[in-house]
Amino acid sequence: MTIFSKTLLLTAMLAFSLAGCKKETETKQKKVVKIAYLPITHAIPLLATAERIGENPEFQIELVKYSSWPELTDALNTGRVDGASVLVQLATKSKEQGVGLKAVALGHRDGNVVVVKKDINSVAELKGKTFAIPHRQSSHNILLRQMLSDSELSTEDVNVIEMAPPEMPAALAQGQIAGYCVAEPFGAKSVTLGAGKALYNSKQLWPNSICCSLVLTDDFINNYPETAKKFHALYHETSNYMSQNKDFATEVAKKYLTVDDSTLKLSLEWISFDSLTFTREVYSDLSEKMVKFGISANPPKYEDFVTTFDK
């Protein structure tokens, strides 16, 4: 082999080696977006987004499952995740406490019900009884207070307690509580099991209501602005896709949630994944209700709390 041939061979080998190193470096630099969630119907748009990302060469989504809102909120507030599908009131509370985050989309619309024992036929019959909500900072608390207010009652007339969502159906069946309002599919579970019935759904108490939202940390948005925008766009594309392909939501739910078919079907009948943009009008309505029912004395301003990457 001539010196010239050897030189060409070495050059080719070096180029191949550098290309391999470059590819390896790019792979290592691919951003893994860690998003926290609870295994509930309200998180389906996030779960579906992770399913649709496929072989996306620009970023990956790592879903981080938690079993309670306090655990999830702690992970979000301490920066162990890049974002979360979370109760919007918990997110506003974190913002009030100085945590750097932004709500970038809604998780769903409606999709909550007030479930009571089968022998209760009116709100008045809840007087003096125990009623469960998952957290004081929640739309479920707003729905409870709205229901009581509409019937000229208040939380002083009902023993309101906080309870983990998975425990509520059993607590109702065993008579430990007279009713509850919580994220799906735990409301539908009591109904399909015959242990309770839906006294109200959120559409009757608070039309077009919101509950969970998709939030991202300021660190993630500032350090990976293009990835944040692309993740946000994929999330909305997925919610639109779900609106046109109803069976897709069911497929995703069956993969991530432990729920029987009848419960899931009923749960999905109550919820909407359409139009998940977090608009100023939606936030204004939420803020007014949070102040009215004592959930927040001074919610953060829309500009400080919400970004939709429009600019």
Could you read off the pLDDT of 100-158 as tens digits, one per residue? Answer: 999 999 999 999 999 999 999 999 999 999 999 999 999 999 999 999 999 999 999 99
Could you read off the pLDDT of 256-265 as tens digits, one per residue? Answer: 999 999 999 9
Report the pLDDT averaged over residues 191-198.
Answer: 95
pLDDT band at 29 (very low <50, low <70, confident <90, very high): low
Residue 292 has pLDDT above 90, yes or no: yes
Residue percentage of the chain with pLDDT more than 70: 89
pLDDT band at 252 (very low <50, low <70, confident <90, very high): very high
Asked whether the bond before 185 is cis by omega within 30 degrees of 0, the reply is yes
- According to the model, what pLDDT value does residue 13 have? 47
- According to the model, what pLDDT value does residue 56 have? 59
Report the pLDDT averaged over residues 31-57.
Answer: 90
Residue 30 has pLDDT above 80, yes or no: no
Residues 6+ apart with CB under 8 A from 187: 112, 113, 115, 180, 181, 198, 267, 270
Report the pLDDT averaged over residues 185-214.
Answer: 94
Domains of the chain by start residue, with CATH: 30-108+210-305 (3.40.190.10), 113-205 (3.40.190.10)
Taking the C-alpha atoms of residue 41 and residue 135, their distance in angstroms, rounded to an integer, is 17
Report the pLDDT averaged over residues 255-278.
Answer: 93
Residue 223 has pLDDT above 70, yes or no: yes
Give the strands of the sheet with 83-87, arranged side by side: 59-65, 31-37, 83-87, 212-217, 101-106
- According to the model, what pLDDT value does residue 184 have? 93
| C-beta neighbour count of 126 within 10 angstroms | 24
Please give the structure tokens belonging to residue 164. Answer: 């983990």
- According to the model, what pLDDT value does residue 57 have? 67
Taking the C-alpha atoms of residue 20 and residue 115, their distance in angstroms, rounded to an integer, is 59
Report the pLDDT averaged over residues 156-168.
Answer: 95
Report the pLDDT averaged over residues 187-214.
Answer: 94
Considering the entire predicted model, what is its pTM? 0.86
Residue percentage of the chain with pLDDT more than 90: 83
- According to the model, what pLDDT value does residue 126 have? 97
Count of H-run helices and E-run strands, the chain: 14, 12
CA 145 to chain centre: 22
